[in-house]
Homo-oligomer: A and B are copies of this chain.
Amino acid sequence: MTSITPPAAPTSVELMDQLAQTAAAYYRNFATAAAARGLTLMQGKMLSLLRRPMPMRSLADLLACDASNVTGIIDRLEARGLVRREADPADRRIKRVTLTEEGERTVQEIRAELLTTLSGLDDLGEQDRRTFQRLLTGIFPAGAA
Protein backbone atom coordinates (compact mmCIF):
# COMPACT_ATOMS: atom_id res chain seq x y z
CA MET A 1 0.00 0.00 0.00
CA THR A 2 1.71 3.15 -1.17
CA SER A 3 -1.51 5.14 -1.55
CA ILE A 4 -2.27 7.86 0.96
CA THR A 5 -5.34 7.27 3.07
CA PRO A 6 -7.63 10.33 2.86
CA PRO A 7 -8.76 11.80 6.19
CA ALA A 8 -11.97 10.24 7.40
CA ALA A 9 -15.06 12.25 6.53
CA PRO A 10 -16.68 13.82 9.61
CA THR A 11 -19.74 12.12 11.08
CA SER A 12 -23.10 13.84 11.47
CA VAL A 13 -22.37 14.29 15.16
CA GLU A 14 -19.02 15.91 14.43
CA LEU A 15 -20.65 18.23 11.92
CA MET A 16 -23.33 19.11 14.48
CA ASP A 17 -20.65 20.01 17.01
CA GLN A 18 -18.80 22.10 14.45
CA LEU A 19 -22.05 23.85 13.57
CA ALA A 20 -22.55 24.62 17.25
CA GLN A 21 -19.09 26.20 17.38
CA THR A 22 -19.78 28.28 14.30
CA ALA A 23 -23.21 29.41 15.48
CA ALA A 24 -21.72 30.44 18.83
CA ALA A 25 -18.92 32.34 17.10
CA TYR A 26 -21.44 34.09 14.85
CA TYR A 27 -23.49 35.37 17.78
CA ARG A 28 -20.42 36.26 19.78
CA ASN A 29 -19.21 38.46 16.95
CA PHE A 30 -22.69 39.87 16.38
CA ALA A 31 -23.07 40.74 20.05
CA THR A 32 -19.65 42.42 20.03
CA ALA A 33 -20.58 44.56 17.02
CA ALA A 34 -23.89 45.50 18.65
CA ALA A 35 -22.25 46.26 22.00
CA ALA A 36 -19.81 48.62 20.29
CA ARG A 37 -22.90 50.76 19.57
CA GLY A 38 -24.39 50.33 23.04
CA LEU A 39 -26.92 47.72 21.90
CA THR A 40 -27.74 44.28 23.23
CA LEU A 41 -27.81 41.20 21.01
CA MET A 42 -31.61 41.26 20.83
CA GLN A 43 -31.70 44.97 20.01
CA GLY A 44 -29.19 44.38 17.23
CA LYS A 45 -31.16 41.42 15.89
CA MET A 46 -34.35 43.48 15.95
CA LEU A 47 -32.75 46.26 13.93
CA SER A 48 -31.39 43.73 11.45
CA LEU A 49 -34.90 42.39 10.81
CA LEU A 50 -36.23 45.82 9.89
CA ARG A 51 -35.09 45.95 6.29
CA ARG A 52 -38.68 47.05 5.62
CA PRO A 53 -41.33 48.50 7.97
CA MET A 54 -42.98 45.62 9.81
CA PRO A 55 -45.85 45.07 12.25
CA MET A 56 -44.88 44.22 15.81
CA ARG A 57 -46.58 40.88 15.31
CA SER A 58 -44.35 39.94 12.37
CA LEU A 59 -41.27 40.78 14.41
CA ALA A 60 -42.43 38.45 17.17
CA ASP A 61 -42.97 35.69 14.62
CA LEU A 62 -39.53 36.19 13.07
CA LEU A 63 -37.85 36.14 16.48
CA ALA A 64 -39.95 33.16 17.56
CA CYS A 65 -40.84 34.92 20.81
CA ASP A 66 -43.96 36.21 22.50
CA ALA A 67 -45.41 39.47 21.21
CA SER A 68 -45.10 41.08 24.63
CA ASN A 69 -41.30 40.93 24.39
CA VAL A 70 -41.29 42.99 21.23
CA THR A 71 -43.04 45.87 23.00
CA GLY A 72 -40.17 46.33 25.44
CA ILE A 73 -37.38 45.92 22.92
CA ILE A 74 -38.97 48.37 20.48
CA ASP A 75 -39.63 50.75 23.40
CA ARG A 76 -35.93 50.91 24.14
CA LEU A 77 -34.91 51.25 20.49
CA GLU A 78 -37.49 54.02 20.01
CA ALA A 79 -36.28 55.85 23.11
CA ARG A 80 -32.82 55.89 21.51
CA GLY A 81 -34.19 57.20 18.23
CA LEU A 82 -33.33 54.12 16.18
CA VAL A 83 -36.89 53.11 15.22
CA ARG A 84 -40.35 54.70 14.90
CA ARG A 85 -43.85 53.29 15.39
CA GLU A 86 -46.13 54.29 12.53
CA ALA A 87 -49.87 53.76 12.12
CA ASP A 88 -51.06 51.37 9.42
CA PRO A 89 -53.73 53.23 7.44
CA ALA A 90 -55.40 49.99 6.34
CA ASP A 91 -55.72 48.40 9.82
CA ARG A 92 -55.64 50.63 12.84
CA ARG A 93 -54.71 47.78 15.14
CA ILE A 94 -51.34 47.46 13.44
CA LYS A 95 -48.25 49.53 14.21
CA ARG A 96 -45.53 49.43 11.62
CA VAL A 97 -42.04 49.65 13.02
CA THR A 98 -39.65 51.61 10.81
CA LEU A 99 -35.94 52.32 11.04
CA THR A 100 -34.96 55.95 11.46
CA GLU A 101 -32.00 57.30 9.52
CA GLU A 102 -29.79 56.70 12.52
CA GLY A 103 -31.24 53.22 12.79
CA GLU A 104 -30.35 52.51 9.17
CA ARG A 105 -26.84 53.76 9.75
CA THR A 106 -26.46 51.61 12.84
CA VAL A 107 -27.62 48.47 11.05
CA GLN A 108 -25.19 49.08 8.23
CA GLU A 109 -22.34 49.60 10.66
CA ILE A 110 -23.12 46.38 12.52
CA ARG A 111 -23.36 44.41 9.29
CA ALA A 112 -20.12 45.89 7.98
CA GLU A 113 -18.27 45.08 11.18
CA LEU A 114 -19.68 41.56 11.23
CA LEU A 115 -18.59 41.06 7.65
CA THR A 116 -15.01 41.91 8.57
CA THR A 117 -15.07 39.20 11.24
CA LEU A 118 -16.20 36.79 8.51
CA SER A 119 -13.10 37.54 6.49
CA GLY A 120 -12.80 33.89 5.55
CA LEU A 121 -15.79 34.26 3.24
CA ASP A 122 -13.96 36.59 0.88
CA ASP A 123 -11.35 33.98 0.12
CA LEU A 124 -13.83 31.37 -1.10
CA GLY A 125 -13.99 30.53 -4.80
CA GLU A 126 -17.21 30.33 -6.78
CA GLN A 127 -17.60 26.60 -6.33
CA ASP A 128 -17.13 26.79 -2.55
CA ARG A 129 -19.64 29.64 -2.34
CA ARG A 130 -22.30 27.63 -4.16
CA THR A 131 -21.58 24.53 -2.10
CA PHE A 132 -21.62 26.42 1.19
CA GLN A 133 -24.97 27.99 0.37
CA ARG A 134 -26.41 24.63 -0.63
CA LEU A 135 -25.16 22.98 2.57
CA LEU A 136 -26.35 25.77 4.87
CA THR A 137 -29.82 25.80 3.37
CA GLY A 138 -30.14 22.03 3.29
CA ILE A 139 -29.28 20.84 6.75
CA PHE A 140 -32.50 21.87 8.46
CA PRO A 141 -35.79 20.48 7.20
CA ALA A 142 -37.86 22.93 5.17
CA GLY A 143 -39.49 25.51 7.37
CA ALA A 144 -37.06 25.06 10.24
CA ALA A 145 -34.32 27.13 8.65
* Chain A interface residues (CB < 8 Å from chain B): 7, 9-16, 18-23, 25-30, 48, 64, 111, 114-115, 117-122, 124, 126-133, 135-141, 144-145
Q: A10-B130, A133-B10, A135-B132 are in contact. Are A144 and B29 (CB under 8 A)?
A: yes
With a cutoff of 8 Å between Cβ atoms, the chain B residues found around residue A118 in the complex are: 12, 15-16, 19, 139-140
Per a CB cutoff under 8 Å, which of B9, B22, B27, B64 touches A139?
A: B22
With a cutoff of 8 Å between Cβ atoms, the chain B residues found around residue A135 in the complex are: 124, 128, 131-132, 135
With a cutoff of 8 Å between Cβ atoms, the chain B residues found around residue A119 in the complex are: 141
| Interface residue SS majority, chain A | helix
A122/B22 in contact, CB under 8 A: no
30 contacts between A and B (CB under 8 A): A9-B127, A10-B130, A11-B129, A12-B118, A13-B111, A14-B133, A15-B121, A15-B136, A16-B115, A16-B118, A16-B121, A18-B132, A18-B136, A19-B118, A19-B136, A20-B26, A20-B30, A20-B48, A21-B137, A22-B23, A22-B137, A22-B140, A23-B23, A25-B144, A117-B141, A117-B144, A120-B139, A131-B131, A132-B132, A135-B135
Interface-central residue, A9, A18, A119, A127, by most chain B CB under 10 Å: A9
With a cutoff of 8 Å between Cβ atoms, the chain B residues found around residue A124 in the complex are: 15, 135
